[in-house]
């Protein structure tokens, strides 16, 4: 029997390379509309490099890479609301 589509076997939040949201807010993948994204799948990132912004209460919070690695998956859309602890990206 296969797992239902609503409960993926590979839960991104449980992935060892998951980057999770430190706050509730709105996620933005680029510094401003129409500009290039901070990162894309396949990019190599350094620890501390900005991966995205989360806007909370009119404050733009830069979310840094917790470690160096390669962006394997981006799990959110630009402008998407995110909850505390929600998986945002997978780094490997």
pLDDT of residue 84: 97
Q: The pTM is what?
A: 0.85
- Residue ranges and CATH numbers for the domains of the chain are 22-91 (2.40.50.100)
The Cα 11–Cα 31 span in angstroms is 28
pLDDT digits (tens, 9 = 90+) for 32-66: 989 999 999 999 999 999 999 999 999 999 999 99
- Which pLDDT value is given to residue 1? 55
* Local structure of 74: helix, strand or coil: strand
Average pLDDT, the chain: 91
pLDDT of residue 86: 96
B/e letters for 2-31, b = 16+ CB within 10 Å, e = fewer, are: eeeeeeeeeebeebebbbbbebebebbbee
Among positive and negative, which fits the CA dihedral 14, 18, 24, 30?
negative
């Amino acid at each position: 029997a296969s797992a239902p589509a609503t409960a993926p076997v590979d839960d991104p939040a449980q992935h060892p390379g998951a980057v999770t949201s430190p706050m509730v807010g709105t996620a933005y993948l680029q510094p401003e509309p129409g500009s290039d994204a901070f990162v894309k799948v396949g990019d190599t990132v350094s620890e501390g490099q900005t991966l995205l912004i989360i806007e909370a209460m009119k404050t733009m919070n830069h979310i840094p890479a917790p470690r160096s690695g390669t962006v394997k998956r981006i799990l959110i859309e630009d402008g998407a609301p995110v909850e505390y602890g929600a998986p945002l990206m997978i780094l490997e």
